[in-house]
A and B are shown apart, each in its own frame.
Chain A
Amino acid sequence: GENVEQHPSTLSVQEGDSAVIKCTYSDSASNYFPWYKQELGKGPQLIIDIRSNVGEKKDQRIAVTLNKTAKHFSLHITETQPEDSAVYFCAAPLGGFSGGYNKLIFGAGTRLAVHP
């Protein structure tokens, strides 16, 4: 079945360092790739997304890159701060947007800890 693989499962960095989380997907029709941040006891919050017509998107300290050939996409957080500590999920819609109602398939999550 369709799957989204996410690595690493945990990531520990010092404040100010960069963090990179990687995902691979199996459905070549997927054309939209969101990243969600989930803080303890809260729902997933959309932080950035990328569509298949671009290779990179940046928003302040976070960026996402996409390699459609390799079916990889990555989240990059620069100058990490303690408040970046959370679980991060990548996701991809099954079947793209030409059909279906775009249920999201989530990765297993990465628990990021930023130490002061």
Chain B
Amino acid sequence: EPEVTQTPSHQVTQMGQEVILRCVPISNHLYFYWYRQILGQKVEFLVSFYNNEISEKSEIFDDQFSVERPDGSNFTLKIRSTKLEDSAMYFCASRADRGPHYEQYFGPGTRLTVT
């Protein structure tokens, strides 16, 4: 069964450093998302991406964040200058189509630890 994959599973970085989190969405999906989950809290929307551009972003997704689909398979989240409060699980999700296929499928996540 196709699934969303994410790398790395755990990333430790120092405050102020840049990190790139990588995702490979399900191959025929068209809509891509990043969510984050601070330890013990709910899953929060960060950004959605369609047709090679951001379609919506939350207030969390400030100018330190960016997303990119550099090729036909990868979808990346970059944090330019990490802060302690960026420590969280980051989940990538993808969805097939805007039509009746509503389901969003999540990857296993990347645990980001900023020290």
Beta-carbon contact of A109 and B55 below 8 Å: no
**Chain B binder among A10-18, A36-44, A68-76:** A36-44
Partner of B31, one of A45, A51, A101, A105: A101
* Residue pair A93, B102 in contact (C-beta under 8 Å): yes
Residues of B within 8 A of A34 (CB): 102-104
Q: Pick the contact of B103 from A49, A100, A106 — CB < 8 Å?
A: A49
Report the contact-size class of chain A (Cβ under 8 Å from the partner): 20 to 34
Chain B, residue nearest A105 (CB)? B45
Least Cβ–Cβ distance between A62 and chain B, in angstroms: 16
Query: How many Å lie between the Cα of A91 and that of B103 in the bound state?
Result: 11
* Proximity string of chain B (22-41) to chain A, C-beta cutoff 8 Å, 1 when within and 0 when not: 00000000010101000001
User: How near does chain A come to B113, taking the closest CB pair, in angstroms?
Assistant: 14
Partner pick for A43 among B33, B48, B109, CB 8 A cutoff: B109
Bound-state CA distance A6–B20 (Å) is: 33
What range describes how many residues of B lie at the interface? Answer: 20 to 34
Quick check: is B43 within 8 A (CB to CB) of the other chain? yes
A contact residues around B83 at 8 Å (CB): none
- Bound state CA distance, A45 and B108, in angstroms? 9
Shortest Cβ gap from A52 to chain B (Å): 11
Is the CB–CB distance between A108 and B102 below 8 Å?
no
Seed contacts A44-B91, A49-B102; 9 additional CB < 8 Å A-B pairs: A43-B6, A43-B108, A44-B106, A45-B106, A46-B105, A100-B56, A101-B50, A102-B98, A106-B44
> Which B positions have Cβ atoms within 8 angstroms of A?
4, 6, 31, 33, 35, 41-45, 48, 50, 55-56, 58, 91, 95, 98, 102-109
